[in-house]
Structure 1
């Protein structure tokens, strides 16, 4: 099992639009495709309060690549993303980190 940590850095004032998009559109599409999320976080204390951190779980890099391609090409996702950005872009940039568990990790 591998985990993917994604950090979405929002443009000023756009965090609510990103959270709404996840809650009302993205998660249902992920469920349909079989993308497994382990959790979402916003920053209470730290460098940026305009970021969303989330963790995805994958069997392999091959699964990640296959399902990410399916998601990115999904007509519903393309439509919902465009609608969520009708007032302008939401993200300034995205960080993507692939994590491997240590031998002593509680999450494998």
Structure 2
């Protein structure tokens, strides 16, 4: 392993900490939110950003070692493209199946 400069080490460490915090926030959201629709936001928003931060740190480490980090770039691209699409499809399926929610609805939305 090559010796890294201090600014690069700090950048990679900051990306890992920020990514870890977002993953932790996503995990806490999965536990705390009350129903399916609310829990759908935690993995698609916070956890996606957390994994993105970890992948950016891995790309930085690969770049410092003389490699481009294509694998990490492809993983990030796949994650950022598939997470919103899968969340949208799950929400549409839940609406179609009439999965109950505990969220307050506005008065002008009919329940039928």
Question: Which structure exhibits the higher relative contact order, with contacts defined as CA atoms closer than 8 Å and separated by 6 or more residues?
Answer: 1
Bigger helix share: 2
Bigger strand share: 1
Which of 1 and 2 has greater Rg?
Answer: 2
